[in-house]
Amino acid sequence: MRKFGALLKVSFWGMLYAMNLAGGSRKRRISGAGVLALAGGLMLMLSASYSFSFSAALAQQGAVDMLPVLMSLLAVILCAAFSLFGAQGILFSTRDMDLALSWPVPPLQLVVSRVLALYLENLFLLGVWMLPVWLAWMLQGGCMPAAFIALPVSVLLLAFLPCVLAMAVGFVLALVSARFQHNALLNNLLYLLLLAGIFAGSFSLQSQIFQVQSSFFTSWLMRPFLWFTGALKLQDVSLAALAAVCVLPFLLVAWLISRRYAAVLTLLASHRAHFDYRLTRQHSAGRMRALIGREFRRYFGISIYLFNTGIGLLLLAVGAIAAVLQRDQLQHLMAQFGSEAIPMTAALALTVGFILAMTQPTSCSISLEGEQLWIIKSAPLRPWELFGSKVGMQLILVFPVLAVCVPVMGWALGIPAAQNLALLAAAAAMAFCVAPMGLVVNLHFPKLDAPNPTVVVKQSAATLVGLLAGFALLLPGAVLYNLIPQALNGCGWLSAAAVLYLLAGVLFWRFLLTRGVSMLEEL
Amino acid sequence: MLSIEHFSKTYSGGKRAVDDLNLVVHAGEICGFIGHNGAGKTTTLRAVAGVISYTEGTIRVDGKDLHTNPVEAKKVMAFLPDNPDLYDYMKGIDYLNFIADLYDIPGDDRTRRIARYCDDFQITEALGSPIGSYSHGMKQKLALISALIRKPKLLILDEPFVGLDPQASHLLKGYLAELCAQGGAVFFSTHVLEVAQKLCHKVAIIQEGKLIRYGTMEEVVAGESLEEVFLRQTAGGADHA
């Protein structure tokens, strides 16, 4: 047990270090704590808004006890989706493999100690998430205040569930991708498949979520969440059942992984270079093309980078296809609501704005250079070439999707052509603003010593601050809409927003070429 | 080719890694840079390569000031760190082409140079595989090739012989001599003093950030071995490094 304790300690400190909560300078620790507080605050806000609206709706149906069931289910889905990428980075990282596998400890202890970081992350998110749930539930008379004492224990147990899901999926992905040469491509396809499954599941869940009498809520899939609710009501049997259903699968999956752990890590780390290349005449491509090509290779070569920063564009494309396929139903629905074209334009603008704020490869692009930053810093590059390649990659990625999806969605929603055009201009201007903004944020919050890309993309301050800054960019648009909603036939506020975003983009770019250069040199 | 005047570097924590360093490497010279771990070798090499910033002193490469004209200075040099991390997601050939594009090497020249160095180092057939699938030695060779294909006037190498097999080490020594014969210069750090003594025209010994001995190899060793001179000069210094 002493060895296991030592492993847990190493894993714990490793997690704190990766999240900037330990080691390094005071500024670094403060920024780490700030990121954690921001993430917790966001989770709290999200949970509070859902909990209080759901609790009122459920109380009207006399089913207020379904609140913790629904909210814990949502929380586990959210945490599992978050942990999915983390599991591969934490559990199947081959970086310190030689060292770890040479230690005289059983593989099960190694696996469990490594999952600790994942478990603690889920525990934090679940704990924060369940606080407003418990409060809303209690205020609607679902439980007594004394039930609060059961909350920590129940959450401690429930936090194992998303770990089980993430570990199992991560193991399968590692096992499959380790056997193929083009594992980045395979990983991307598998993640795409998985995300499609999650979306399909979410839509199906959405259709059942308010039919509280549905048989879905008594099915075996929902048992852990029903037991969780029972445990919160201080029912000992429910607590015991919850413990069994959360901890036993965790140990079982950890044990199964540990049996093949060394083999999978070895396979992942094995040098599988193929000795069949024949050199032919090479061609020069030009500096900027080479730099942008490098950005794209990295983008499509790191699955978590691609999916974390590209999911918005994927959703926009899926939304555009769905809007075209269901155009008649959409227009019928809008006619029922009696909405004018302008509110629909505003709704679409808000949606596109949110997606653009989420699509920020640049906000972790410098951090992802990591230990390879020396290559770029020792190369004869002008600052605009390096920054331009990163901004250029993001714009090449975003512009075509916007150019196709925004007009298509506008057409499907019956938005007048002039407003549609103004919306496209505003969206393109915002994209132009977000790309350099991401780099500015990343220069202020760099993370070059991350053990793997997952830490950079998921846990770094730059990613979170970039996201929040992107959301903040929506505010001027909202203010303009409120001030001049009808100007120029509803195109005025969009045009003004476009000009504003363009100006902001130019300012961000100017910052990069002045202060940004010295900030990059300091890295 | 390389001139360092009054160069000092203090890190943000207050540690003075290099203190008032002065050094010149002329065209056609190989200069060895030796010192204990933590003496300031890597800091100096990284500053010369433009990888870390500095505020005190002047570094000129081929007459171009690294502060005021960094792009022109970097165009004529190549840097290889002690443990080169390369882009694992790129294929070997893509990485070489990427570097060749950054240094504006025309298609025919790059094909000829890649063929020559890769054949010599025996990694041509692996160039189609991702760098992530390479062994440590193969990565080291690829990084070295990416430096050599630039035909630099100044080659800066940090511990270049670590991780190379005897055949590759032998090849590298030949390439360094060839580069100098063609008017280039080499500035490299090493702990292998026998190699430094055989290979270098000049040697610089650094201890706790200060240059304690610098001159031609003959002047510095004066009939002794470099190892003896180094141990005597730095006696007691390792504890502080």
Q: Which CATH number does the domain housing residue B196 bear?
A: 3.40.50.300
Mark whether B157 and B234 lie in a shared domain: yes
B185-189 sheet: strands from edge to edge: B77-80, B154-158, B185-189, B30-35, B202-207, B210-216
| A247 and A292 fall within a common domain | no
Helix axes A341-358, A303-325, angle to 10 degrees: 160
From A269, A303, A329, the end of a domain falls on: A269
**Mean pLDDT throughout A221-235?**
85
| B89 and B66 assigned to the same domain | no
In which region does residue A236 sit, left (phi positive, over 0), alpha (psi from -120 to 50) or beta (all else)? alpha
| From A282, A291, A373, residue closest to B97, measured CB to CB | A282
Q: Does B229 map to a domain?
A: yes
The percentage of chain A sitting over the pLDDT mark of 90, rounded to a whole number, equals 28
Is residue A182 pLDDT above 70, yes or no? Answer: no
Whether residue B230 is predicted with pLDDT greater than 90 in this model: the reply is no
Q: Judge if B24 and B119 occupy the same domain.
A: no
Domain annotation covers residue B167: no
Query: CB contact, 8 Å: B103 with chain A?
Result: yes
C-beta atoms of B86 and A375 within 8 A? yes
Residues in chain A: 523
Contact predicate A444/A483, CB 8 Å: no
Considering the domain architecture, whether residues A251 and A292 belong to the same structural domain is answered as no
Residue B187 counted as domain residue: yes
Residues B5, B70 within the same domain: yes
CA distance B199 to chain A (A): 25
**pLDDT on residue A336:** 67
Q: How far is B143 from chain A (nearest CA, A)?
A: 10
What is the model's pLDDT at position B98? Answer: 94
Does some domain include residue A37?
no
Q: Are residues B72 and B157 in the same domain?
A: yes
Q: Picking from A23-32, A57-66, A485-494, B216-225, which range would have the lowest pLDDT averaged per residue? A: A23-32
Give the range among A190-194, A479-483, B136-140 with minimum mean pLDDT.
Answer: A190-194
Residue A359: inside a domain, yes or no? yes
For B125, the domain range is: 84-151
Domain boundary among the residues A269, A296, A329 is at: A269
The number of folded domains in chain A is 2
Question: What CA–CA distance (Å, rounded) separates A288 from A310?
Answer: 23
Same domain for B1 and B64, yes or no, is yes
Residue B171 is assigned to a structural domain of this protein: no
pTM (two decimals): 0.78
Q: What is the pLDDT of residues A328-387, one digit of tens each?
A: 887 777 776 655 545 788 888 998 999 999 999 999 999 999 889 999 999 999 989 999
Identify the band that residue B240 occupies on the pLDDT scale cut at 50, 70 and 90: very low
Task: Give residue A138's pLDDT.
Answer: 86
Task: Please name the residue that has the structure tokens 């040479």.
Answer: A102
pLDDT tens, position by position, A261-285 = 888 888 777 766 677 888 888 888 8
Domain that residue A79 falls in: 44-269
CA-CA distance, A515 to A357, in Å (whole number)?
Answer: 24
Query: Residue A276: inside a domain, yes or no?
Result: no
Contact B102 A287 (CB under 8 A): yes
Least confident of A49-63, A156-170, B65-79, B200-214: A49-63
Residue B239 is predicted with a pLDDT of 43
> Closest-CA residue in chain A for B90?
A297
Closest Cβ opposite residue A290 in set B71, B98, B124: B98
Indicate the average pLDDT of chain A.
85
Same domain, B55 and B44: yes
Q: Do residues A197 and A78 both lie within one domain?
A: yes
Tell whether B86 is within 8 A of chain A (Cβ): yes
The reply to whether residue B133 touches residue A273, judged by beta carbons under 8 angstroms, is yes
Return the higher-pLDDT residue of A266 and B117.
Answer: B117
Q: How many CB atoms lie within 10 A of CB A261?
A: 23
Residues of B in contact with A297 (CB under 8 A): 87, 89-90, 94
Using the Cα atoms of residue B37, residue B38, residue B40 and residue B43 in order, give the sign of their dihedral.
positive
Confidence (pLDDT) at A100: 77
> In sequence order, what are the beta bridge partners of B185?
B154
Helix A461-472 × helix A417-444 angle, to 10° = 150
pLDDT of residue A214: 63
- Domain shared by B157 and B233, yes or no: yes
pLDDT at residue B241 above 50? Answer: no
